[in-house]
Amino acid sequence: MDRLAFRSSERFTSAESMAMIEKLGGSIMSSSSRECIMYQAAVFPHDAPTALKLLADTTLRPKILPEEVDELRMAVPWELQEVKSKPETFLPEVLHKVAFRSGTLGSPLLCPISQLNTATPDSLSAYHQRWYTPERMVVAAVGLDHDDLVRMCNDNGFADLTAPASAMPTLAASDQGSDAGASSKSWLNKILGGGSEHTPQVIAPGGQSVYTGGTWFESKPNVDFTQVYLGFKSAGINDEHRLYAYATLQMLLGGGGSFSAGGPGKGMYSRLYTRVLNQHAWIESCVAFSHCYTDTGLFGISASCRPRNEHALLDVMASEIEAVALGKPGVASRRPYSSLEGASALEIRRAKNQLKSNLLMNLESRMVQLEDLGRQVQISGHKIPADTMAERIEAVTMDDIRNAARELLESPATLLAQGYVDGIRKFHAQVAASHRIKI
């Protein structure tokens, strides 16, 4: 559905849609993730009605023609080959597949070649009818009057949507209401996220993600670097207290590459720089990651090193998680302190300041504001102001961060390695056990 965006619809042919996009200029695109698909446009205010007309047609009234589906099916093998050639895009996909073996979040973002033949116009139309329903949609706008947005949505058919009874999910009232818009009880009002009443939060039946963990190794002995991912189950978006603790932990660990273009100062006082990259010349990159979803998340460290050092790299990565969780110095550290107390208070302060800085800097972008508004209303039914987020970040304590790190060690780890993997394949269980990590 992502690739079929802005093609043929009931009102426009594919060529007409492309002509409208070229005339509008700006940025008009679609993007898909594991929990949502987004259609967005950045245009001049006077072009907003035309942009919304285009968005409405591609989301509500797509034609899904056989020739367009065939064209996309021909492109998928090339896309998959391109993704697999880049570890930074391929391995996060494998990470989710291994971490959530039961499906849900482990399902691939790109269509596997084995399933290409199932992507027919009929199956895609059935998918559209099943999932593109009003209770799952949010229409968000930045820089546009709310009443004008309601009028434009009415003009383009959003108010006429009905949800099939068989596709109706469970609705749970959120704990806060939105402060924007009118109090209409129509589907349009729920799509727009408006009203002073509690906005329902969609809960898909049977859609609970089940974390499993596991290991995956792919031998490529001739590559320049071995890639290693070490991941753990973390908090979902709705678990706000733990969510902010994990976000701060990610900043605390930080990390990056052995070479940083564009000048110094980008997180170079974080732990994975000072305790790992600055200590071991054979480590090419080491960075903390966090993937957050509605009901769960993935937190961990990804790193790369020269061949035949991969088992030692795993030891260093595991040591840094354990160092935060248990207040130990870690094998890579030459620092005199042995806990999160004392000198490390400066690290916590720096991590929180960096997190707040990143948040506020990102929200300077209108496109980020738009995505943030739409996703927050879709997931929780209300918008959390940036000031409130900053206050919650500030409230994170050392104990919160330590407890978050300890929780990582309670669930089985997800371990991936690609490249020269003989050492890590042989010794990963012993290395993990020495750092209280379950494999």
The residue out of 138, 153, 169 marking a domain boundary is 169
How far from 362 is each of 23, 49, 253, CA to CA, in Å? 28, 27, 20
Residue by residue, what is the 3-state secondary structure of 126-172? HHHHHHCCHHHCCCCCCCCCHHHHHHHHHHCCHHHCCCCHHHCCEEE
115 pLDDT tier (thresholds 50, 70, 90): confident
Q: Which of 169, 201, 222 is the last residue of a domain?
A: 169
pLDDT at 182: 36
- 121 and 221 fall within a common domain: no
Q: Which pLDDT does position 266 carry in this prediction?
A: 58
In a domain, 177, yes or no: no
Same domain flag for 225 and 133: no
- Shared-domain flag, residues 263 and 365: yes
Q: Is the pLDDT of residue 184 over 50?
A: no
Question: DSSP for 173-218?
Answer: EEEEE--SS----SHHHHHHT-SSSEEEEEE-TT-------EEEEE
Count of the separate structural domains present in the chain? 2
- Same domain, residue pair 360 and 224: yes
pLDDT tens per residue, range 80-100: 999 999 999 999 999 999 999
Last residue within a domain, chosen from 135, 169, 203? 169
Residue 173 is predicted with a pLDDT of 34
Residues 149 and 220 in one domain: no
Cβ(253)–Cβ(320) below 8 Å? yes
CA distance 15 to 382: 38
> Which amino acid does the sequence have at 283?
I
198-238 pLDDT, tens per residue?
A: 333 334 444 678 999 999 999 999 999 999 999 999 999 98
Calculate the alpha carbon distances from 93 to 5, 34, 374, 386, 424 in Å. Answer: 23, 10, 24, 30, 20
pLDDT tens readout for residues 304-340: 999 999 999 999 999 999 999 987 654 444 444 444 4
Residue 439 lies in a domain: no
Shared domain for 395 and 256, answered yes or no, is: yes
Q: Are both 311 and 369 inside the same structural domain?
A: yes
Beta bridge partners of 62: 9
> Distance from CA of residue 77 to its chain's centroid?
24
Are 233 and 150 in a shared domain? no
Q: Is residue 186 part of a domain?
A: no
Q: Considering the chain, what percentage of its residues have pLDDT values greater than 90?
A: 68
The tens digit of pLDDT for each residue in 374-386 reads: 999 988 888 999 9
pLDDT confidence of residue 258? 73
Q: What are phi and psi of 207, to 5 degrees?
A: -100, 10
124 in any annotated domain: yes
The secondary structure element, H or E, covering residue 286 is strand 283-292
pLDDT attached to residue 213: 95
Q: Is residue 266 part of a domain?
A: yes
Closest CA to 288 of 260, 249, 339: 249
End-to-end C-alpha distance for the chain, whole angstroms:
37
- CA of 317: how far to CAs of 191, 322, 330, in Å? 44, 9, 9
What is the domain extent for residue 271? 214-434
Same domain membership, residue 254 and residue 157: no
82 is a domain residue:
yes
Domain-embedded: residue 111: yes
- Compute the distance between CA of residue 164 and CA of residue 28 in angstroms, rounded to an integer: 30
Q: Is the same domain home to 158 and 297?
A: no
- Provide the sign of the torsion angle of the four alpha carbons 14, 57, 38, 18, taken in this order: positive
Residues 237-248 as b/e (b if ≥16 CB within 10 A, e otherwise) read bebeebbbbbbb
Q: What pLDDT is attached to residue 192?
A: 58
423 and 307, same domain (yes or no):
yes
- Residues with Cβ within 8 Å of 359's Cβ and at least 6 positions away in sequence, in order, are 386, 389, 390, 393
Task: Give me the chain's average pLDDT, please.
Answer: 85
Residues 230 and 139 in one domain: no
**CATH code at 233?**
3.30.830.10
**Is residue 231 a contact partner of residue 99, using CB atoms and an 8 Å limit?**
yes
Q: Would you say residue 245 lies in a domain? A: yes
